[in-house]
């Protein structure tokens, strides 16, 4: 089954992007107007994040989000057959911060949100920076798609680490220089063991691993996000968050990240994954005080 699916997607990926975007346009019409995929989740999230906006303004963000959502999928298919020149052309940015950290012998963590298009960014970061990229991913149940995504995500040299086996997967890299990529706006599996902080004014659980890992491994932390210059072309933006995270007070790095994430989302709200159920957990007193 894998070879059949891979063959179909590979042939599709050979089409020019302008042709593939016709499929994206059709998918948008079906997903948004006919199926209404997770539309209730998206609308609830947008209302939480932007209560001050009018319904018309939130609907405009909603529609742009769904267009980016389908583009993200189509662009990922295109990546199956693309080479390094294509990736470098479509994913650009100033990576001096990474060159400087690498020259200092620093390990590095990058923290980002579900910001389009994270798939081309995963390939581009290995080409633009001197680091070996370790990409943490969440395994999926469909083994065919799991194998396909792993093939795409590792084609430029990224090393994939399953989030479900992080402790053992990191062991071979403890004494090496690396760049660890973490999508740090994931929902924690156990909200009682999360950091609870206000995110868009609502108590929200955040995973503790990114901060604790950076402190334990003395890995400098860089926050990144992407903006869309035009359809299919993305620009990387980097912000050094902590050169020595161990000197920060506990939870401080997470607080800085949340402020960064809010700023990024407010600037380009259509670029974040609103179908992600970020506020599915409700805070309970037994979780402890909300960190301020």
pLDDT of residue 113: 96
Phi, psi of 16 (to 5 degrees): -60, 150
* Residue 36 in domain: yes
> Hunting for tokens 């006919």 — which residue is that?
34
pLDDT band for 277, please (50, 70, 90 cuts): very high
pLDDT of residue 19: 98
- What is the pTM for the complete model shown? 0.94
pLDDT of residue 190: 93
Chain mean pLDDT for the chain: 96
Report how far residue 233's alpha carbon sits from residue 128's, in angstroms, rounded to the nearest whole number: 15
Helix (H) or strand (E) holding 233: strand 233-242
Report how far residue 259's alpha carbon sits from residue 31's, in angstroms, rounded to the nearest whole number: 32
Quick one: tokens of 115? Answer: 């910001």
Is there a contact between 13 and 77 (Cβ–Cβ < 8 Å)? yes
Per-residue pLDDT reduced to its tens digit, 117-170: 999 999 999 999 999 999 999 899 999 999 999 999 999 999 999 999 998 999
Q: Looking at the 3D structure of the chain, how many domains does it have? A: 1
pLDDT of residue 151: 96
pLDDT of residue 148: 95
Look up the domain containing 134 and give its range: 2-287
Pairs from 61-68 (Cβ < 8 Å, separation ≥ 24): 61/269, 61/270, 61/274, 62/274, 63/32, 64/270, 65/269, 65/270, 65/272, 65/274, 66/28, 66/31, 66/32, 66/42, 67/24, 67/28, 67/270, 68/116, 68/117, 68/228, 68/270, 68/271
Quick one: tokens of 104? Answer: 């200092």
What does each C-alpha distance from 120 to 84, 95, 107, 151 come to in angstroms? 11, 16, 23, 13
Helix (H, G, I), strand (E, B) or coil at 92: strand
Per-residue pLDDT reduced to its tens digit, 218-263: 999 999 999 999 999 999 999 999 999 999 999 999 999 999 999 9
Q: Which residues pair with 242 in a beta bridge?
A: 221
* Residue 292 in domain: no
Helix (H, G, I), strand (E, B) or coil at 208: coil
Per-residue pLDDT reduced to its tens digit, 90-120: 999 999 999 999 999 999 999 999 999 999 9
């Amino acid at each position: 089954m894998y070879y059949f699916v891979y063959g179909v997607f590979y042939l599709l990926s050979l089409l020019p992007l302008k042709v593939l975007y016709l499929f994206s346009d059709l998918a948008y019409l079906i997903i948004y107007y006919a199926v209404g995929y997770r539309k209730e989740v998206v609308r609830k999230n947008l209302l939480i994040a932007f209560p001050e906006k009018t319904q018309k303004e939130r609907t405009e963000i909603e529609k742009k989000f769904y267009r980016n959502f389908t583009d993200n999928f189509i662009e990922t298919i295109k990546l199956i057959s693309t080479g390094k020149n294509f990736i470098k052309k479509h994913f650009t940015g100033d990576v001096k911060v990474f060159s400087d950290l690498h020259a200092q012998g620093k390990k590095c963590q990058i923290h980002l949100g579900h910001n389009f298009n994270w798939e081309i960014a995963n390939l581009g970061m290995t080409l633009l920076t001197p680091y070996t990229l370790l990409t943490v991913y969440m395994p999926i149940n469909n083994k065919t798609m799991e194998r396909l995504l792993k093939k795409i995500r590792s084609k430029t040299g990224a090393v994939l680490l399953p989030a479900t086996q992080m402790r053992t997967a990191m062991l071979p890299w403890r004494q090496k220089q690396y760049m660890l990529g973490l999508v740090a706006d994931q929902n924690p599996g156990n909200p009682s063991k999360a950091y609870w902080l206000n995110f868009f004014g609502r108590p929200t659980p955040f995973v503790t691993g990114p901060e604790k890992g950076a402190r334990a491994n003395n890995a400098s932390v860089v926050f990144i996000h992407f903006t869309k210059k035009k359809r299919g072309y993305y620009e990387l933006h980097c912000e050094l968050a902590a050169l020595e995270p161990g000197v920060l007070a506990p939870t401080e790095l997470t607080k800085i990240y949340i402020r960064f994430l809010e700023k990024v989302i407010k600037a380009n709200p259509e670029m974040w994954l609103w179908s992600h159920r970020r506020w599915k957990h409700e805070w309970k007193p037994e979780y402890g005080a909300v960190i301020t």
